Structure 1
Amino acid sequence: MSFGTIDAVNVLLVRLRTDTGLEGLGEAVTLGGPTWSEETVETAQLVTNRYLLPLVIGKSPLSLAGILEEMHRRVKGHYFAKAALECALFDLLGKAHNLPLYALLGGKCRERVPLSWSLATGDIEAEIAEAQRLMARGQWIFKLKTGVEAPEHDVERVAALRTALGERADLRIDANQGWDVPTAIRTLRRMEPYRITFAEQPVPRWDIEGLAAVSRSVSIPVMADESVCTPQEALRVATRSAARLFSLKLTKSGGFLASKKIAGIAEAAGISCYVGCMIETSVGTAAYLHFALSTPQVTYGCELFGPLLLQDDIVQNPVRYDNGYIEALEGPGLGVQLDEGKVQRYRRSQ
């Protein structure tokens, strides 16, 4: 990642059970603690147990909209915790009606989603070798994590990869808020000859005017990620023409319904979308996948590679990848079943 190296992922797993024996699953992952945002899995666990679950226990999943409205009224922020709980409610609904979750979100508009792979070592030769190895298996979309080393080195990486991989590769970059406005403009202009599909979050999340300045000053389309977590932020970015693409993440926005609202704002503003990730297991990845399958505005693919990076998973039937795509899941709800042995093996109480 642009903000550091991560060697372990902590997961909040939410399990809701009905009086009829159904179980709904949800998941929240925060990369490296309070690094990507203010939340951690520890705070999400506390907020879920102490403040959110009392608003759900005893209610019917069929009252989902009312439950969520009460959650947002009584608990401010804490979107990762809310997203995990909302996902578990949706999973219950899908299982109760024997429908895949995408059917509850409007139905499929695609059968699979193109997968982007992140290159983040900063070692040019190693990244070329990694990309070439993956291209031999059908992968063609690559996103370079930038904004940590000198901008000149990031430009060298982009140039070297374009030369080595040729025109078949779709190259993107993500600075994870790593540049100021002058550096972003200068660096992206130097990258323009290498046909970059988009530049994600080049400046700090709070600097919407700076994001707009970068977007006006370069030909590479700018994507907003950290700057767009809520529908209100999406509207602000859209009205200022600060980005031409949005990166959508269920957990940063509080779940499916809020993310659908953001996608609707994007559609109204002529902004295309992409689905990011926080390196989830197959539980969280399945949730993101159902969202991507059912959201027409997601035209730039996804980076739902969490299960491919993790050394192990916690489900019996992990999500499936093929030839540069992640494939649809067709079972009821999320379409994945927990491996109880794995859950117990990796469980920690705090």
Structure 2
Amino acid sequence: MADLTINKVETRILDVPLFRPHGFATTTATAQPILLVTVTLENGVVGFGEGVVPGGPWWGGESVETMQAIIERYLAPVMVGRPVNELSGILVDFEKVVANDRFAKAAVDIAMHDAWARALDIPLADLLGGAFRKELDVTWALGVLPLDEAVGEVEEKIAETGHKSFKLKMGSGDPATDTQRISELVEKLGDRVSFRIDVNARWDRLTALRFLPKLAEAGVELFEQPTPAHDLDTLREITTRIGVPVMADESVCSPADALEVVKRQAADVIALKTTKLGGLKESAKVAAIAETAGLACHGATSLEGPFGTAASLHFAAATPAISYGTELFGPMLLKESYTTEDLVYENGVVKLPEGPGSGLEPDWDKIESFTRK
């Protein structure tokens, strides 16, 4: 099938402004760097993927700059000249030339899936077993904000898009002050919506055991990765001791990690990011491990743009293991999009886009304006 042969792989770095600064445990982002990857087939079909990390290399060691170098110098030569429907073999061969670098691999994995689906004129979800749902719940994540600003943003999202679940970032400030801030926010609004926290693996054992019970008492419904990724013993202790579900994020960057979390009984939920896991194929392995063990999966985000978010949405729509909702809200943080149509967010859900591939088409004028010169 020569028309499915990969003709070229191209990358460009976009710097897309956010509508407001977004605070993580160790950094604050005012714009989102996105590596836009295009895979062009011999028949002229183009697929799109995105290399995105949440706020920069502090999270997993990769950045848009390192991803661009890895893809152009090492991964693209493995791809060019091979049919895109040999995707599994291409991914196997990636491992012979590049260890780890899962965010970079995810970008080209998704671009190849997108190109293949567009060439077949089918939705991306059809390559993954078919969508059994057309919309998914979306949790809105707040950055590290003062109490009054957080209350205002929650009220705004309830009114504008009907969000019912909110994630609160912690870990950058004094734990006692942070805990008081979150507790007051939950007290003000917890009878209308649900709240969860994400510490981004920044608390040690004693800090977690001191403050998480207070957050549980305040009504927080989920603890996301309160302690370091490697410390599964403490994560298990929190999971079994405090009585609030625990979600592993930084602790699960591969199927082997997921299996270890299952064996150690270290979490109740796995944050499944197609980016950190290396793409859709590896994400399917993690989903299968979690589902078999009775753990829930959450469709998590690295704050991808529209193409990356749409790919994760197609994956979630076709994967029953993702049973704990999603936070696929990345495009909502962008001041402007770079697709001709936006993903639809309303009533606390995001709709699965229709059409071949991801269902989205590029706005090349906007892409050019965001391209780093």
TM-score, normalised by the number of residues in structure 1: 0.96
Counterpart in 2 of 1:184? 208
The answer to whether 1:59 aligns with 2:76 is no
Matches within 5 A, 1:195-210: 195-210=219-234
Counterpart in 2 of 1:258? 282
4+ residue segments displaced more than 4 Å: none
Greater displacement, 147-156 / 250-259: 147-156
| CA deviation after TM superposition for structure 1 residue 19, in Å | 1.2
| CA deviation after TM superposition for structure 1 residue 52, in Å | 0.4
Greater displacement, 220-229 / 313-322: 313-322
Residue deviations 1:156-207, cap 9 Å, x none?
2332222221433111110001100111122111112233221000001111
SS in 1 for 2:112: helix
Matches within 5 A, 1:68-147: 68-137=91-160, 138-147=162-171
The answer to whether 1:24 aligns with 2:47 is yes
CA distance in 1, matches of 2:170, 2:190: 20
Greater displacement, 51-60 / 112-121: 112-121
Judge conservation of contact 1:111–1:293 (CA < 8 Å) in 2: yes
| CA deviation after TM superposition for structure 1 residue 310, in Å | 1.1
Number of residue pairs matched? Answer: 349
Judge conservation of contact 2:144–2:168 (CA < 8 Å) in 1: no
Residue deviations 1:250-296, cap 9 Å, x none?
11010001011001110111110111112221111111111111111
CA distance in 2, matches of 1:166, 1:245: 22
Judge conservation of contact 1:286–1:329 (CA < 8 Å) in 2: yes
Residue deviations 1:46-85, cap 9 Å, x none?
1101100111101111111111111123211111111110
Q: 1:42 pairs with 62, 65, 68, which one?
A: 65
- RMSD (Å) for aligned C-alpha atoms: 1.3
The answer to whether 1:267 aligns with 2:329 is no
The answer to whether 1:320 aligns with 2:335 is no
Greater displacement, 54-63 / 143-152: 143-152
Matches within 5 A, 1:229-240: 229-240=253-264
Unaligned residue ranges in structure 1 (runs of 5+) = none
Judge conservation of contact 1:185–1:217 (CA < 8 Å) in 2: no
| CA deviation after TM superposition for structure 1 residue 216, in Å | 2.1
Q: Percent identity?
A: 40
CA distance in 2, matches of 1:66, 1:267: 26
Q: 2:178 pairs with 128, 145, 154, which one?
A: 154
Counterpart in 1 of 2:189? 165
CA distance in 1, matches of 2:67, 2:144: 30
Unaligned residue ranges in structure 2 (runs of 5+) = 1-23
CA distance in 2, matches of 1:57, 1:275: 31
SS in 1 for 2:114: helix
Greater displacement, 130-139 / 39-48: 130-139
CA distance in 1, matches of 2:87, 2:200: 34
TM-score, normalised by the number of residues in structure 2: 0.91
Judge conservation of contact 2:144–2:170 (CA < 8 Å) in 1: no
CA distance in 1, matches of 2:163, 2:75: 40
Letter in 2 for 1:60: P
CA distance in 1, matches of 2:133, 2:208: 34
Q: 2:327 pairs with 284, 287, 303, which one?
A: 303
